[in-house]
């Protein structure tokens, strides 16, 4: 959290009193100027985090493998 956003939240609390955690998170994440999602590149290899499908095909392959195993267990085909 930037010091500007921190000051913005502190000023809001001083002016309006205590806030619930949900309001704090909303301010920290979605503030129009300083919120996390509005100030940085967060997705992808150069962002703050990536998801499994972005880093490797292993996730998709593992998921497909489990689907095949489940289909063998629960599906019965009469020929």
pLDDT for residue 18: 96
Sign of CA dihedral 65, 44, 32, 7: positive
pTM: 0.52
- CA gap 2, 24 in Å, rounded: 14
Distances (CA, A) of 4 to 9, 10, 23, 34, 75: 9, 10, 17, 7, 58
The residues with which 49 forms a beta bridge, in sequence order, are 43
Q: What's the pLDDT score for residue 14?
A: 97
- pLDDT recorded at residue 43: 60
pLDDT of the chain, 79 residues: tens digit per residue: 678 999 999 999 999 999 999 999 999 999 988 888 887 666 666 666 666 666 678 888 888 999 888 888 776 666 5
């Amino acid at each position: 959290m930037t010091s500007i956003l921190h000051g913005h939240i502190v000023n809001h609390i001083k002016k309006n009193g205590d806030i619930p955690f949900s309001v704090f998170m909303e301010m920290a994440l979605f503030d129009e100027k300083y919120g996390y999602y509005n100030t940085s590149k967060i997705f992808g290899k150069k962002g703050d985090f990536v998801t499994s499908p972005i880093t490797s095909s292993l996730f998709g392959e593992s998921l497909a493998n489990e689907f095949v195993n489940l289909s063998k267990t629960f599906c019965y085909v009469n020929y």
